[in-house]
A and B are shown apart, each in its own frame.
Chain A
Amino acid sequence: MNGLSNGLSIYRAPALAWLALSGLTLLSLELGNWFHTASWLPLLVAVIVWAKGALVARSFIESHLAHPFVRRVLAGFIAFAPAALVLTAFFGDTLARWTQL
C-alpha cells in the first residue's frame, strides 16, 4: 500500500496541473458567457491564458529546471498573446491607426 502511494506520488504534479488546466478551461468558457459585454473581460481572459501557459511550462516542461534560453523563450511566448490581447482591447483604435495601409 505504501509502495502504491509512493508510486502514484510521482504523478501528483502533472495530475494537479491537468485538473487546474481543465478547470480554467471550463471557467473561462463560463466567464465568457456571464460577462461577454464587460469591457474588462479581455483582461481576465488574458490573465487566464497566461496562467494556463505558465502552468504547462512549469508542470509539464519543467521550465524552472531548464536552461535560461528555454525559460526565456517560453516566458516570452506565453506573455506575448495576453499582452497583445490587453493592448488590442484597450488601445485597439491606436493599433488600427498604426497598421493602416
Chain B
Amino acid sequence: MVAGELGSEPAEAAGRESASGPERTPQAAAPGRRIPGNKGIWVGISCEFVEFAVMFIIYFVARAHYPEAFQQGAERLSKTAGTVITLLMVSSGFLIACSVVAMRAGRRRASLYWLIAGFVVALGYPVAKLLEVQWNLAQGIDGEAGIFFTVYYYLTFNHLVHACWGILGMGWVLARHAFGGYSAEDYSGLEALASYWHATDIIWLILFPLFYVLA
C-alpha cells in the first residue's frame, strides 16, 4: 500500500515544497530550535519524566536495601513477556515515526497506513501485559510476594497506565488523520502524539532491564 503511493505523492510533495518553500512549514522551521509536536505535549512529557524519575529512585533505594531480593526476583519473571512488550513498544514507535516522516514528505495516505499499523501493534502491549499478569498470578507472584514484586507491579502498572493514555491519544489522532485533519504543512498533533509515545517507549526501555535482565 505504501509502495503503491510512491509513484504519485512524492511528486505532489515536491511540487508543494517548491511552490511554498520550506519556511511555510512550522515543523521544518529553525533547526536546533524546533519543538517536536507542540509545547503542551512537552509539558506533559516533562511531568511524566519527573514522575518516573521519582519511581526510579524508589526502585534504586529498594534495590540498595534488598539486593538479594532483586537478583532472585528477576529470575521468577517471564523474560518472554518482557521481551515481547519491548519489541511491541519499539515496533509501534518505529511505525509511528514512519507515519510522521511520510506526512512530512507529503504522503498523507501512507502516513495514515503507518499510523494504523502503529496503533494495532501498540494494542498488543496491554494484551501482552494481561497475559503476563495472569501467568504471574498462576506462579503465585502477586503484589505481596516480596519487595521486588511490589516495586515491579508499582512501576510497570504505572507505565501501562501511561501507555493506555498514549493508545487513547493514538485513536484520537487516527480519527483526525482519517478525516484529513493533518497535512504536510501542519501535522503538529500527529508529531505530538509520536513524541509522547516515544517518551513512553524510552521509559519502558529503562524498565525492561531493571526487572527482566538484571537477575
- In the complex, chain A residues whose CB is within 8 Å of the CB of B35: 66-67, 70
Q: Are A85 and B60 in contact (CB under 8 A)?
A: yes
Q: Are A18 and B94 in contact (CB under 8 A)?
A: yes
- In the complex, chain B residues whose CB is within 8 Å of the CB of A65: 31-32, 34
Q: Quick one: CB contact mask for B23-62 with A, threshold 8 Å, 1 for yes?
A: 0000000011111100000100110010011001100110
Q: Are B94 and A25 in contact (CB under 8 A)?
A: no
Q: Are B83 and A26 in contact (CB under 8 A)?
A: yes
Query: What total count of A-B pairs have CB within 8 Å?
Result: 148
Q: Are B64 and A10 in contact (CB under 8 A)?
A: no
Majority secondary structure of chain B interface residues (helix, strand, loop or mixed)? helix
CA distance A36 to B213 in the complex (A): 9
How large, as a class, is the contact surface on chain B? 35 or more
CA distance A53 to B205 in the complex (A): 7
Q: Which chain B residues have a beta carbon within 8 Å of chain A's beta carbons? A: 2-3, 6-7, 10, 31-36, 42, 45-46, 49, 52-53, 56-57, 60-61, 63-65, 67, 79, 83, 86-87, 90-91, 93-94, 97-98, 101-102, 105, 107, 194-195, 198-199, 201-202, 205-206, 208-210, 212-215
- Supply 6 A–B pairs (Cβ within 8 Å), ascending by A: A17-B97, A49-B206, A52-B205, A68-B33, A69-B42, A88-B60
Q: Which chain A residues have a beta carbon within 8 Å of chain B's beta carbons? A: 3-4, 6-8, 10-11, 14-15, 17-18, 21-22, 25-26, 28-29, 31-32, 36, 41-42, 45, 48-49, 52-53, 56-57, 59-63, 65-70, 73-74, 77-78, 80-81, 84-85, 87-88, 92-93, 95-96, 99
